[in-house]
Amino acid sequence: MVHNDKDEVTGINTTGHEWDGIRELDNPLPRWWLWIFYACIAFAIGYWILMPAWPGLHGYTHGLLAKSDRAQVAVELKALRAQRGAEGASLVNASLEQIEADPKLQAYALAAGASVFGDNCATCHGAGGGGGKGYPNLRDDVWLWGGTPEDIEHTLRVGIRSGHPNARMSQMPAFGRDQIVTPDQVNDLTEYVVALSHRKANAAAVARAAPVFQAQCSVCHGPAGLGNQAVGAPNLTDRDWLYGSDRASIHSQIWNARGGVMPTWEKRFDTATIKALAVYVHANASGK
Amino acid sequence: MPVLIDTVSNTPKTGAPPPLYKKREPIYPKLVHGRFRMIKWAVLVATLAVYYILPWLRWDRGPGVPNQAVLVDFAEARFFFFFIQLWPQEVYYFTGLLVTAALTLFLVSALFGRLWCGYACPQTVWTDLYIVVERLFEGDRNARMRLDAAPLSLNKAWRKGGKHLVWILVALVTGGAWVFYFQDAPTLFGQLFSGQAPVTAYLSVGILTFATYMLAGTMREQVCTYMCPWPRIQGAMLDEHSLQVTYRKDRGETRGPHKKGETWAGRGDCIDCLQCVVVCPMGIDIRNGAQMECINCGLCIDACDEVMDKVGRPRGLIAYDTDAAVAARLAGTRPVYKFVRSRTVYYAVAMTLVGSVMLFGLLTRSPMAMDVLRDRNPEYITLSDGAVRNGYTVQIMNRSIRPEVYFLEFHGPHGAHMRTVGQTHQGPISVALSADGQRTLRVFVTVPPSDHAHHRDHSEPAEFRLISQGGKRLEKATVFLSSGEDE
């Protein structure tokens, strides 16, 4: 639409639109601008021919170049795996102690371990490895099956109650549910375990439970309740409790004897990845 | 044909509508001699020399660090500028530099008009260079106009062909020089010719060659008029006291042809010879006053001075002058030049402030640097004996060009001791860093239970201290967290 609305200063027509008193001069575009517009149209047509462009009912037009971001990602992932394989080889050949002592290997193992941990382990153990009820805290100094790098690596390989032929196996009997001891004895044992961890408990109950503990529990947990990493029996005298430290939790555990399952990772990860993960877990536990 | 209606007056319009598109007017700037042309030649040689030579200068920084004086190293994420070396974390120096440069540009524009456009802008410099080549093959203004009007001949073909060939060569060298700023120049130079340079290098050279050829060869004044935002922004920088290339209409009018021996009384000094128009690279008439298209290159001043000398009138009919001065003389009063104005003061203060802050930061910058990131998940770990442990990720950087050994200490709650992965001894952690190197440490700090049996705060102040062998210290504050309950 052409307006006969001349701007007094420049003598050029305006577009006739006004925004808060501001009008726009209707200067003609340079002609090359038009050529660029035509060039863009030509480019678009070329793009349709060469690149994936138009959706159809069953798929889309692939274009002459048949470019696919998905295929490109697959190629890049393959290259990345090859690169990781080369760097991972140095992990395979080194011992876990060597990996921790060497700054370069350590940095690589920690970075790789953090990534694998986040994708696979954090679901149960928490993003930072802090654990939760029923899921061991991997950051402290308490280990059911041992906290040396080798112990951790072995646990990663075979899992716990995982179905692996060499899996770490331990099964606490359900003392209450299976009527191995009487309900009163479960109550007494609860007081006994509370006393073991240096807390105030009913002295009479503790005295009644002592022979029961020695008969039923000391095989795995030890006569003093210090636990045994060889069979995965927890230390009952420390402050670390997998299923809770209060009386109700302890009673429930003696009655029902819960035990979690950790999968075997041997089939899913290669040696280098398991080693990196073991170093990562051990390093962050800063433990034994 | 539909009748066009003027919607303002609601009456049928007369005459044809103005065109939607504007045909480009060819410009044949004539060669001119004089003061400003000399300054422009000097600036051209100086800026081009800096551009082409800078990446070839060497600067010894010792082994393991590039020895190129100016290098933007994307692969290693470093910027080298002679004795300065910046890491990606310090990109604020670039921000400061850009802000200072922008404010300087504002100040200079407010005082002296578009000096940048007229003299230093790459578009101006390379266009000048391309016009030199054009003149070499096709001659000056009149010869070029004749050649363009002539039918195609062998003479025209070789002149035009030769010009474009040299233009492309210049463009290639321009694009080629650019990539040397991003990799070791001598190495890349060899790679470029043996076909072993990275694809991005060839791509960059290609894009810059094309851009240089198009912008300086064929687009020229169209870039300034239609593409560049600066001519439009500068309207807000300039006022009636800004020095600009100005036709002094108080002296020039009434203009008209002048024959030798005629009197100058009762008329202006402008003899309407159009020399100011034919030398203008933007194709405008400066006598129409300040215009968006005018890049303030001063070539019309040279042209006019030459003419004034010939006709025996004083120089400076066109000169750097202000609108206020012209208006004052027209009104018969003494022109006043005001350089100290509120806007120039604001620009100068802001420029000095930003520049000083950045310079101070750069001068007091320490080559040792440390970042501390405290674990947030879990915030703290209670160990089996009741001790509390916090985890930290500590990044230690050596920004110097010499290898360094630093010692890391932790100062916090009483009894706190730290250890890092793979550490075999007690005490400060020693970190050996290569020149320009860095390391990230996982550090664990444990506070024994005996020391926090009493009430303790959930969060206690703490700090990591980094000490160099030379005794330089660097502290980073953090906190030590625990449950905050009596245990």
Residue A257 touches chain B, beta carbons under 8 Å: no
**Residue A240, pLDDT score:** 86
Residue B60 touches chain A, beta carbons under 8 Å: no
Asked if pLDDT for residue B487 goes beyond 50, the answer is no
Residues of A in contact with B382 (CB under 8 A): 140, 239
The answer to whether B422 contacts A5, with C-beta atoms less than 8 Å apart, is no
Residue B343 touches chain A, beta carbons under 8 Å: no
Please write the tens of the pLDDT for every residue from B127-176: 999 999 999 999 999 999 999 999 999 999 999 999 999 999 999 999 89
CA-CA distance, B74 to A206, in Å (whole number)?
A: 70
**Residue B486, pLDDT score:** 47
**Residue B16, pLDDT score:** 65
A25/B374: higher pLDDT: B374
Asked if pLDDT for residue B280 goes beyond 80, the answer is yes
How many Cβ pairs within 8 Å bridge chains A and B?
A: 99
Nearest CA in chain B to A29: B21
What is the band of B9 on the pLDDT scale with cuts at 50, 70, 90? low
The answer to whether A140 contacts B383, with C-beta atoms less than 8 Å apart, is yes
Q: How far does the CA of residue B226 sit from the closest CA of chain A (Å)?
A: 8
Residue A235 touches chain B, beta carbons under 8 Å: yes
The answer to whether B421 contacts A28, with C-beta atoms less than 8 Å apart, is no
Which CA distances in Å does B88 have to B82, B396, B454? 17, 14, 45
Residues of A in contact with B421 (CB under 8 A): 100, 106, 110, 283, 286
The answer to whether B381 contacts A137, with C-beta atoms less than 8 Å apart, is yes
Please write the tens of the pLDDT for every residue from B416-446: 989 888 777 778 899 999 988 899 999 999 9
Residue of A14, A34, A286, A288 to mutate for B, most B C-beta atoms under 10 A? A286
CA–chain centroid gap for A153, Å, is 17
The stretches in chain A having pLDDT less than 70 are 1-4, 286-288
Residues of B in contact with A128 (CB under 8 A): 375-378
**Residue B1, pLDDT score:** 44
Where does chain B hold its CATH 2.60.40.10 domain(s)?
368-481
Residue A101 touches chain B, beta carbons under 8 Å: yes
What is the band of B455 on the pLDDT scale with cuts at 50, 70, 90? low
**Residue B448, pLDDT score:** 87
**Residue B456, pLDDT score:** 63
Residue A75 touches chain B, beta carbons under 8 Å: no
Residue B254: asked if its preceding bond is cis (omega within 30°), the reply is: yes
Q: Specify the pTM.
A: 0.79
Residue B386 touches chain A, beta carbons under 8 Å: yes
Residues of A in contact with B4 (CB under 8 A): 2
Residue A5 touches chain B, beta carbons under 8 Å: yes
Residue B395 touches chain A, beta carbons under 8 Å: no
The answer to whether B9 contacts A4, with C-beta atoms less than 8 Å apart, is yes
Residues of A in contact with B383 (CB under 8 A): 140-142
Mean pLDDT of the B338-366 span = 93
Residues 10 through 49 of chain A touching chain B, CB cutoff 8 Å:
13, 16, 26-34
Asked if pLDDT for residue B3 goes beyond 60, the answer is no
> What average pLDDT is seen over chain B?
90
Domains of chain A, each with CATH number or no CATH: 14-60 (no CATH), 71-165+271-285 (1.10.760.10), 183-256 (1.10.760.10)
What CATH code would you report for B368-481?
A: 2.60.40.10
Residue B453 touches chain A, beta carbons under 8 Å: no
**Residue B27, pLDDT score:** 94
**Residue B339, pLDDT score:** 93
Nearest CA in chain A to B374: A128
What is the band of B326 on the pLDDT scale with cuts at 50, 70, 90? very high
The answer to whether B442 contacts A110, with C-beta atoms less than 8 Å apart, is yes
**CB contact at 8 A, A106 and B441:** no
